[in-house]
Structure 1
Amino acid sequence: MLHTLFPVVFSRLFRGLTAVSLAGLASAFQCPDQGPLQNHTDPNFTPCPCFVAGEEFGVVLNIPSQHLPAEILRVRVFAASAVGGQPNVLGNAIHIYGSGLPNPGSPISSLLGPVISDGVQNEFNLEILGGAVPISSNPFTVTFEFATDNVNDFFVPTAVYDLDGCTPGANVIFAIPGGWTDACSLGVPGDWAISVLYRAQNCSSNQTYCLTSANSAGAGAQIFFVGSSGVAANDLVLTCTALPVGQLGLFFYGPNQIQLPFGDGFRCVGGQIKRLGPPNSVDVFGNTARFLDYTQSPMNSGAGLVVPGAVFNFQFWYRDPGFGSFNFNLSNALNVTFTP
C-alpha cells in the first residue's frame, strides 16, 4: 500500500515554492538552531547584587568558525535573588557587541526593556522581538544592562555566576565609573550565566551537492531538510521540491558521494544504499517530505545506523513519465553529519 508522510502543515509550508528561486528555497529551509553557546558549566550559581543603574554584565563568546556567518536567535539570562521568589525586574537593555575585550565598542543590536524573573533562565527571542542579529566574525559580546541599583540588595533578581572558576577574557563588566573590565580581574569568582542560541546562515549551500536535472516540472528537483541533525532530537525531515505532481518517488541514503548518469539525471549517493520506504507521493504543489526515525529500520542498525558522528548522503528518486528518455529522474543530494 502506498504511503506518504506529508501532513497539511508541510503542504502549507511549501505552497507556491515551485515558482520561486533557489535562493528563496534556501531561505525557506533554514539551518538548524545551534547552542546554547555559553561559558558557564556548573549548574550551581551565586547571585551578585553588585550593580548600579547603567552598568552591564556579560559574556564574550565565539561561534565555531564552520558556522560563520551566523545569526543570534535567542539570548538566555539566568537571574536570581539571594532569597528567591522576588518580583520581576525591568532592565535597560540586552546588548550585542561585535567585538570582545578590552573594548567591545558600540552595540550592533539592542533589545530594550527586558524583564528578568527570579530563579529562572529568562529567554529573549530576538527573531520575534526585533530580528535575529547577524554575526560575521569572532569574538562578540552579549550583555545585560541594569535599569536600577541593586548593590547589597538581596531581594531583587540580579546577575549570577557559576562556581567552577572565572574564565579570563570571557566575562565582562561595564562599570560606572571605570568602563569595560574583565570581570575576573575584579574578583568575580565564576562565569556569568548568559548564553545564546544561533543559526548558521549558509548550511544549505554547504550541505547540498551534485547536480539536479530538468524535469517536467521545471529546472529540477531540490532536496533540503527541516529540523536538526541531532540524534537525540530525532526530528529531521527530508524534503524535496519542484517535482512532477502526483508521481511516486523514494528517498534513499548511503555513505559515499558520487556523480554518475542514471535515468534522466545523476545518482549522487554511493556505497551500501538504504531505501527509506514505502514510496512517497508528490502533492499538488510538487513537494514531498519524509520524517526520519532513527529508532526504526534501516536507521537503527547495520550499515544504515544513525549515531552521533555518522555521515550520510541523501537523495530522492522519482518517476517522471513522458519526460526525457528514461521516465525517471533524481534530485540533487544532501550531506548530513549527525550530532548528539
Structure 2
Amino acid sequence: MSKQERPRERPLALTCGDPSGIGPEIAAAAWLQRTPAGVPPFFLLADPALVAARARACGYDVTITECRPEEAVAVFGAALPVVPLNARFADTPGIPDKRNAGGIVEAIDRAAGLTLDGLAAAVVTNPIAKKPLYDAGFAYPGHTEYLGHLAERASGTPARPVMMIAGPELRTVPVTIHVPLADVPRLLSAETIGETVEIVHAALQRDFGIRAPRLAVSGLNPHAGEDGALGGEDQTIIVPAIERLAAAGISVRGPLPADTMFHAEARARYDAAICMYHDQALIPAKMLGFDDAVNVTLGLPFIRTSPDHGTAFDIAGKGVARPSSLIAALKMAAEMAANRGTAT
C-alpha cells in the first residue's frame, strides 16, 4: 500500500467540560504528557482564549493552535490542537456560570457529530456540573442521557446508554443510574436487567476484545435477599433475568451478595459486575481506581469515555489538578476505537 493510500489516523474529540472547573487545565496537562504517558492524538473543543489563559494561570508551557479536526493529528506533536467553539466562555475558575451552558452543550454536540461523521475516532468528555446547565434550561439528567439523545437523533433509533466504570482492577455497571435510592426497586425489571447485561456483553466483545465475557450480577437486598427473607426482588426480578440470559448463551452468575463480590478472589471470576444502583457499582470501582478509573458509555453508535471525577471547582485554576484519569480515558477511548475499527 502506498503512503497516499494508507488509512488516515483519526484523533479523539475531547470536550472542554465546564470551563469553570478543571477541564481546560487537565486537557493542557494531558497534552504536556503526550510523549512520556503515550497520550493518543486528540483535539479540544473549547474557547481558545480561555484555554490559553488557564494554561498560563497554571504555569503550563503550552502552545495552542486553532485548527480543523482533520488537521489535529499533524498539529498534535508540536501544539495542543483546539477546534474553536462558536460560543465564548466567561472565565471564572471555581465559580460555575450558567452563561457557559451553551458552549458546554455545543462542545458535546460537536464531538458526537464529528465522531459520527468519521472525523474523530471517539468522544472523550471532560466533567460538567449539572446545576448550571439545569439553571440554563438543560433538560437531561446528565452526560450519559444527553449522549443517548444525540445518538437517537442522529440514527432515528432509540438508544439505550449504559454507564460502565472501568479501571485496571474492576469494571462495574449500574442498572439504574441517577435516580433516588427509594425509586430503585420499582425501576428494576427482568427486561431492564437483561437489556443491560446484553449491551455490556456485546461491548466487552466488540470494544474490549474479550471473546467470551464472564458477567456477575449483584443482588439488590442484603445477602441477595436471603431467599426472600430480606426482600423479594432478588428472586422475582433478578433470578428470572439471569435464567433468560444464561439460556441465551451468556456466561452470567448471580444474584450475588454485593458485600462479597468485590474482593480480589471474587473479581478474578468475572470481567464485569452488573449492579442494581449507582453507589453499589461506583463505590468499589472508585475505591480500587480513583485516579485511573474511566467512565464509559456503552450502547451508543460511537465510543464515549470520560474521567471518573467531577469538575473540582475548589482547585480549578490552581495548577494542582492531576490529569491521570483523563489520560486513562483518552487511552481507553483509543484502545476501544482500535478494537472497533474506527481508529483509522
Structure 2 length as normaliser, TM-score? 0.23
Task: Considering Cα pairs closer than 8 Å and 6+ residues apart, tell me whether 1 or 2 has the greater RCO.
Answer: 2
Whose strand fraction is larger, Structure 1's or Structure 2's? 1
Structure 1 length as normaliser, TM-score? 0.24
